[in-house]
Structure 1
Amino acid sequence: MPRNRQDVDREAKVTEIREAALRILREGGPAALSHSAVAKDLGLARTAIYWYFPTKDDLFVAALTDAYAEDLGDPPETDDIMPRLAWALERLTALQPLTHALHERARHSPAAAELETALLQGLTTRLHALLASKVPPEKLAPITTTIVVFFEGLLVQPRPPEERLRLLEFLISELT
């Protein structure tokens, strides 16, 4: 019998569900994440998860948002472009299976499409801030777009880490 948790604060419940969803997502990928899997992990009734995350996409987006925040939230403290871009590229490469699932779900899910847009805007904003003092203002937008497209291309056509770094160094030396 699932446990009764009426005494637990709503935000604490949501946090606990999100943590379990993230754990399941990291361990088993998008296919393993479900309301039932989270409920089983937490010893709750499946309906308790639906109360906070009505659809599988809502659950997936919450877990993936946490994965991105965890994995991309603390870039290296340096003004040097290359270490920061190399760090971001490696982090995004590690998240590639989840990002691919996000792109697939974004076609049908408003919640996934919203996260996809926010992720792209966040990446673009960070790149603008990183590059603003290094490139002329009139080149900032096209260079930022080129780097984003380059990152996306490497995520679709994976390369070994040393080749990714070599290609990134070449791109940055040509653009800046």
Structure 2
Amino acid sequence: MPTMPRNRQDVDREAKVAEIREAAVRILRDGGHPALSHSAVAKELGLARTAVYWYFPAKDDLFVAALAEVYAADLGTPPAGDDVMARLRWAVERLTALQPLTHALHERARHSEAAARLEAALQESMCSRLRALLSPRVPAERLDRVTTTIIVFVEGLLTQPRTTSDRLDLLEFLVTELT
């Protein structure tokens, strides 16, 4: 039978944070933002709810930590190569799957500094990656405008109920026209 630590000082903080974050990711993927709570994480890990609060004082802290992991896992490794459309299709399909979580992040960003920081970091990362992908094909003086247009278009596209085929056809039309 494993021995229980006498107090939090006996627990490796980073290991416990990682364990809680992993449980939060599982809950977030299974039930979305509404399912995520300190109680749900504590129950999954067999901890007291106050133990989760010790490491993540607010639900938004827990949500942001878990969502950052989800985004890193789902969007961190795009397909290799320089085929713009293949990479954009890949990203749009992943973003489509993540849309409920992205919507929750956007809602929480209006009330939570931690959520607002994550949202801004994700936006900057997407812009930077898209700029790098487009830079060989788009003149420098148009690059920022084309990048912004594609991002705004994709964000709008993701809020509409469209088939995968329709979504990707519209994306290809836009990118072809802009590049």
Matched, 1:125 2:128: yes
| Matching residue within 11, 14, 31 for 1:11 | 14
Matched, 1:115 2:114: no
Between the aligned partners of 1:36 and 1:4, the Cα distance in structure 2 is: 20
Show CA shifts across 1:88-107 (max 9, x none). Answer: 00000000000000011111
Length-normalised TM-score, structure 2: 0.94
Matched, 1:71 2:74: yes
Length-normalised TM-score, structure 1: 0.96
The equivalent residue for 2:143 is 140
The equivalent residue for 2:159 is 156
1:159-170 counterparts in 2 under 5 A? 159-170=162-173
Between the aligned partners of 1:75 and 1:4, the Cα distance in structure 2 is: 42
Query: Residue type of the partner of 1:49?
Result: V
Q: 1:47 to 1:4 in 2, by over 3 A?
A: farther
Show CA shifts across 1:13-32 (max 9, x none). Answer: 01100000000001111111
The equivalent residue for 1:85 is 88
Query: Residue type of the partner of 1:63?
Result: A
Compute the displacement of 1:159 (Å). Answer: 1.2
Compute the displacement of 1:156 (Å). Answer: 1.3
Between the aligned partners of 1:4 and 1:142, the Cα distance in structure 2 is: 57
Between the aligned partners of 2:125 and 2:168, the Cα distance in structure 1 is: 22
Compute the displacement of 1:133 (Å). Answer: 0.8
* SS at 1:95 equivalent: helix
Between the aligned partners of 1:74 and 1:151, the Cα distance in structure 2 is: 19
Deviates more, 1:154-163 or 1:113-122: 154-163
Show CA shifts across 1:114-143 (max 9, x none). Answer: 111111000000001101111100010000
Structure 2: gaps spanning 5 or more residues: none
* SS at 1:85 equivalent: helix
Show CA shifts across 1:150-174 (max 9, x none). Answer: 1100111131100011001101110
Between the aligned partners of 1:171 and 1:40, the Cα distance in structure 2 is: 47
Show CA shifts across 1:45-104 (max 9, x none). Answer: 111111111100000001100010000001000101000000000000000000000011
Structure 1: gaps spanning 5 or more residues: none
Matched, 1:45 2:48: yes
| Matching residue within 164, 173, 177 for 1:174 | 177
Between the aligned partners of 2:21 and 2:163, the Cα distance in structure 1 is: 32
Deviates more, 1:3-12 or 1:146-155: 3-12
**RMSD over aligned Cα atoms:** 1.1
* SS at 2:11 equivalent: coil
- What fraction of aligned residue pairs are identical, expressed as a percent? 71
